Amino acid sequence: MATNIGMMDGAYFVGRSEILAWINTTLHLNLSKVEEACSGAVHCQLMDSVHPGMVPMHKVNFDAKSEYEMIQNYKVLQDVFNKLKITKHIEVSKLVKGRPLDNLEFMQWMKRYCDSVNGGGLHSYNPVERREASKGGKEASKKSAPQPSSTKGSTAAPRPTSSHARRNSNDVPSSVNPSNQPAKAPSKPSTSVAAYDEQITELKLSVDSLEKERDFYFAKLRDIEILCQTPEIEDSPIVAAIKRILYATDGDASVVTEAQAMLSLDPKEAEALSPIAEASEEKSGSETQKRKNILNTDVDAAGIITLSPRQRLTDASDVHCSGSPLMTY
C-alpha cells in the first residue's frame, strides 16, 4: 500500500486529463479542472470509496467556499489518515488557494493510493447516495448530471424552428442559410475559449514547476555559501575556488579554469591571491611602518635630551652658519 512515494514515482507523471476522468468516473462528478477539488470534499469521498464507512460524510461540506470551510474538510481527511496510519503530509495552506500544480500533485498521490487499495475496486460503491449525506452533496450531484436538461433543450428546440418554417414557407432557400449561420457560429468561439483555458492552465503548471525548481537550487547555493563562511575552512584554497565560482558575475568559462588554477597553487600563493590575505598583509605592513616611525621619533627625542649644552650650542651654530631659515632673525 502506497503512503509515501518519491517525487520520481510514476504516479506524478499521470496527466491532468487522466486524473479528471478518474475522479468523474469514480464519484459521478463533472469536474473540468483539478483545482475545482481544492475544497477537500472530493478527497474525502475518494477515501470513502476505497474505505467504505471510514469517512464521516455528514461532516464533509461540498459547498465549501471560504478557506475556513475548506480547512474543516481537510481536518476530516487528516482524521481518516490518522485512523489508517497514513503518514502523508497534507499541505492545506497551498491546496485551499487552488493552485493547479499543488492540487494536481496531491490528486496524483490520491490516485496512486486508491489504486493500491484492492486494485482500486469500489465494491459496488454508490457515490451519489453517499454524497447526499454531506452538506451540499445533492447540489453537487445535480451539477454533475446535466443530461436531462440537454434532452429538454433538444426537444424544445424544433418548435420555434417549425413555426419559423411555416412563416417563411414561400421564401427562397437562400434565406434559410443566414438563419442557420448564427446557430453554428457560437460553437467556434466556445472551442477557442476552451483551448485558451487549457493553454493558460498548462502555462500556470509550468510556471509553478519552474518556481519550485528555482527555489530548490537557490537554497542549495545558499547552503554552500554559509558552509564556505565557516571560520575553520574559510581561508582554505578549495573554499576560495568555490567562492570564485559562486561570486562570478558573468558566464565566462574561464572562471572554472581560474578556480582549478587556485587549487593547483601552494597554500601560501593561494593566500596571496585571496583578497582577505592581501588586506591582512596591507594592514600588517602599515602597522609595521607605524611602529618604525614611532621608534625613530623616540630615538631622536632621546638623542636630543642626552646632548650636553655645549653640543646643543655647536649644533645651533652649525645650523646658523648653513643659512637655515630656522635661525634667521
The answer, yes or no, to whether residue 19 has pLDDT greater than 70, is yes
Listed by start position, the domains of the chain span 10-143, 229-273, 275-327
The answer, yes or no, to whether residue 318 has pLDDT greater than 90, is no
Query: Where is pLDDT greater, at 82 or 120?
Result: 82
- In sequence order, what are the beta bridge partners of 61? 135
Query: Where is pLDDT greater, at 279 or 47?
Result: 47
Average pLDDT of the residues of the chain: 74
Closest to 115 measured CA to CA, from 12, 226, 11: 11
Question: Which pLDDT does position 37 carry in this prediction?
Answer: 93
pLDDT tens per residue, range 21-73: 999 999 999 999 999 999 999 999 999 999 988 999 999 999 999 999 999 99
Mean of pLDDT values over 298-303: 49
Class of domain 10-143: mainly alpha
The residue type at 149: S
Query: Where is pLDDT greater, at 46 or 286?
Result: 46
| Cα three-residue angle 132-111-99, rounded to 5 degrees | 85
Mean of pLDDT values over 189-201: 79
Question: Cβ of 75: how many Cβ atoms within 10 Å?
Answer: 14
The residue type at 130: R
Residues 6+ apart with CB under 8 A from 204: 99, 100, 101
3-state secondary structure of 61: strand
The pTM is what? 0.47
pLDDT tens per residue, range 140-189: 777 766 544 444 444 444 444 444 444 444 444 444 444 444 444 455 56
Segment among 19-33, 247-261, 264-278, 295-309 with least mean pLDDT: 295-309
| Cα three-residue angle 240-244-249, rounded to 5 degrees | 160
Segment among 78-92, 138-152, 250-264, 312-326 with least mean pLDDT: 312-326
pLDDT tens per residue, range 80-108: 999 999 999 999 999 999 999 999 999 99
Query: Where is pLDDT greater, at 18 or 211?
Result: 18
**Alpha carbon of 140 to those of 29, 97, 103: distances in Å?**
8, 20, 19
Segment among 95-104, 122-131, 249-258, 289-298 with least mean pLDDT: 289-298
Residue 124 binned pLDDT confidence (cut-offs 50, 70, 90): confident
Closest to 101 measured CA to CA, from 38, 41, 39: 38
185-215 residues labelled b (16+ CB within 10 A) or e (exposed): eeeeeeeeeeeeeeeebeeebeebeeeeeee
